[in-house]
Amino acid sequence: MKTTKISFLKRNLSGIVTKVVEEKEIISIKTQKGNAIIIPESFYNALVETIYLASQPGLLDKILSGENEDIDLMSLFNSKEEWPSA
């Protein structure tokens, strides 16, 4: 992660945003009142989705229990198969 001062960001905003978007760069901005981060939108979306999934009761346990399933016993997806409702 690169760090820059707010004064440099003000002078070079367009170039910095382009770098963040095109190179998936994370930029830390230092100010007198605290710091901020600029991240690509895809990183932000992934974080929001992760937070949402982690907040769902029992979901992490279900995902982790899937790691122990025998893949040879699984069947192929059948779009006509009826699934029980949650």
The per-residue pLDDT for range 15-65, each reduced to its tens digit, is: 999 999 999 999 999 999 999 999 999 999 999 999 998 899 988 888 888
- Give the residue extent of every domain in the chain: 2-65
Residue 3 reports pLDDT greater than 90: yes
Residues with Cβ within 8 Å of residue 42, at least 6 apart in sequence = 24
Do residues 2 and 20 make contact, with C-beta atoms less than 8 angstroms apart?
Answer: no
The band of 71, judged by pLDDT with boundaries at 50, 70 and 90, is confident
Say which CATH superfamily domain 2-65 falls into: YefM-like domain (3.40.1620.10)
What pLDDT does residue 86 have? 60
Q: Is the pTM of this model over 0.75?
A: no
Strand order in the sheet with 2-5: 2-5, 27-31, 34-38
β-bridge partners, 34: 31
